[in-house]
Amino acid sequence: ESVIAQCPDAEWRVIVALARYGGLRTPSETLALKWSDVDWERNRLTVTSPKTERHGKPHRVVPLFPELRKYLEAAFDTAAEGSVYVVTRYRDAGTNLRTQFHRMIRRAGFKPWERAFHNLRASRQTELADQFPAHVVSSWLGNSPQVAERHYLQTTEDHFRRAVEEPKGGATGGATVVQMVVPHTPATTGEDSQECRETSGKSEILVLSPECGSDGGIPPRGVEPRFSG
């Protein structure tokens, strides 16, 4: 957001937002985006991808995320009447978006990071992977889960912060405590067999085991029944 604040106009802000919040490849997918690709009513973008077209996937549909929509709306409001493409001022082949973007990063007080636009896209993929299934995120960003794992997903400071937070629900961290309950007068269901009941919360599991002796004792074992069926 600090870098976006240093962008000179609405089109540059939408260029950065499309990479950071939409996960679009820049410049290829960003410059190919048309206003007709924006479905304002359904909150979706149809992204044309030259990179995936050769693999038989020329398009993909991306949610119009709230943090992205506001920048698209601002660009739409300032666009010249009859504009076809979302980005019109920076389409010249001689325009070096990377060099200009580095200047904006420096003006915001940061050192330009490597592969500036790629890493904006990688940041978005990492965020989405924490919220949605891998196949869903990959369909939105136009890559495979394997490619995402190798080239996009990142370990962030937020991951470390969440890992060391105290678990909710007390020291058990939500773990279920299982108790063994043996009736005072066990019912006999067969020769040398006895009913034992395991309770966990509101559920109760009936275990038939010859090891439940007549004295009500329970042999040492885990919480799973030793015999199936």
pLDDT tens over the chain, length 229 residues = 999 999 999 999 999 999 999 999 999 999 999 999 999 999 999 999 877 666 667 889 999 999 999 999 999 999 999 999 999 999 887 788 999 999 999 999 999 999 999 999 988 988 898 888 888 888 888 866 665 455 455 555 665 566 567 776 654 444 444 444 444 444 444 444 444 444 444 444 444 444 444 455 555 555 555 555 5
Q: Where are the alpha helices (DSSP H) in 42-81?
A: 50-53, 66-78
Q: What is the pLDDT of residue 202?
A: 46
Long-range contacts from 209-215, C-beta under 8 angstroms, 24+ separation: 212/182, 212/186, 214/186
Tell me if residue 148 falls in helix, strand or coil.
helix
pTM: 0.63
The residues, ordered by sequence, that sit 6+ positions from 99 with a Cβ below 8 Å of its Cβ are none
Q: What is the pLDDT of residue 99?
A: 94
Q: How far apart are CA 1 and CA 109, in angstroms?
A: 12
The residues, ordered by sequence, that sit 6+ positions from 179 with a Cβ below 8 Å of its Cβ are 198, 199, 200
46: burial class by Cβ within 10 Å (0-12, 13-18, 19+)? middle
The residues, ordered by sequence, that sit 6+ positions from 206 with a Cβ below 8 Å of its Cβ are 195, 196, 197
Q: How far apart are CA 90 and CA 96, in angstroms?
A: 9
The neighbour count for residue 96, using CB atoms within 10 Å, is 11
Show the tokens assigned to 132. Answer: 């949605």
102: burial class by Cβ within 10 Å (0-12, 13-18, 19+)? middle
Q: How far apart are CA 73 and CA 40, in angstroms?
A: 9
H/E stretch holding 59 reads strand 59-63
Q: How far is CA 104 from CA 30, 141, 201, 214, in A?
A: 18, 25, 57, 80
